[in-house]
């Protein structure tokens, strides 16, 4: 299982989803199947995504940077 951007979604799943396997802010939260080891805070609220996923506080299924 390869997860190049460490967002918890394997590259194969990202390709299947159409998200970017090299962008830790591009993934489908529903498809997080491995440990999230990235330390990105994609929505900029001060809580890293790994913690938001663990806490269930990520609201959107697909993280989109605006």
**Positions in 40-59 near Ca ion (CB under 5 A):** 41, 43, 45, 47
CB atoms within 10 A of CB 19: 20
**Positions in 6-25 near Ca ion (CB under 5 A):** 7, 23
- For Ca ion, the closer of residues 27 and 29 by Cβ is 27
- Angle at the Cα of 53 from the Cα atoms of 63 and 60, rounded to 5 degrees: 30
Residue 27 engages Ca ion in binding (rule: CB under 5 A): yes
Size of the site for Ca ion (CB under 5 A): 9
Token code pair at residue 54: 């663990």
The β-bridge partners of 28 are 62
Binding site for Ca ion (CB under 5 A): 5, 7, 23, 26-27, 41, 43, 45, 47
């Amino acid at each position: 299982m390869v997860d190049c951007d460490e967002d918890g979604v394997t590259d194969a799943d990202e390709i299947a989803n159409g998200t970017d396997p090299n962008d830790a802010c591009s993934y489908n939260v529903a498809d997080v199947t491995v440990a999230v080891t990235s330390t990105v805070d994609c929505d900029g609220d001060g809580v890293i995504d790994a913690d938001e996923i663990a806490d269930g506080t990520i609201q959107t299924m697909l993280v989109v940077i605006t």
